[in-house]
Amino acid sequence: MVSFEKNPMLDDAMLNELFARSWSEHRSRPFADVLARSLGFIGAFDDGRLVAFVNVATDGGAHAFLLDPTVDPAYRRQGLGCRLVCAAIDFARAANCE
């Protein structure tokens, strides 16, 4: 069963592994600085393994937008991406963003 978490503890290895599985052109990179500037982020986990991620960024005002929406290829076509985006929208609205 996939569970969603707001601002879960993530490290570079977890994110780079997900992105490498999901994006053929991905090159490993650090994420800490980007995530520190985000409004927040949502991770989806299956038995402790990160299987989806989205970064909820903000302009510092009333607007929020999504960066890096990613779903592991083995979990695609099951509605997980839609649920991930809905969780991100709820997160942004709870922070009073449009």
pLDDT at 76 over 90: yes
Measured between alpha carbons, how far is 49 from 21 in angstroms, rounded to an integer? 13
Residue 60: what pLDDT? 84
The average pLDDT across 24-41 equals 93
All domains of the chain, ordered by start, with CATH?
2-94 (3.40.630.30)
What's the pLDDT score for residue 22?
A: 96
3-state secondary structure of 71: strand
pLDDT digits (tens, 9 = 90+) for 49-72: 999 999 999 988 899 999 999 999
Is residue 97 within 8 Å of residue 58, measured between CB atoms? yes
Exposed e or buried b per residue across 42-61, where buried means at least 16 C-beta atoms within 10 angstroms of its C-beta: bbbbeeeebbbbbbbbbeee
Partners of 5 in beta bridges: 43
pLDDT (0 to 100) of residue 97: 92
Residue 4 in this model has a pLDDT that exceeds 90 = yes
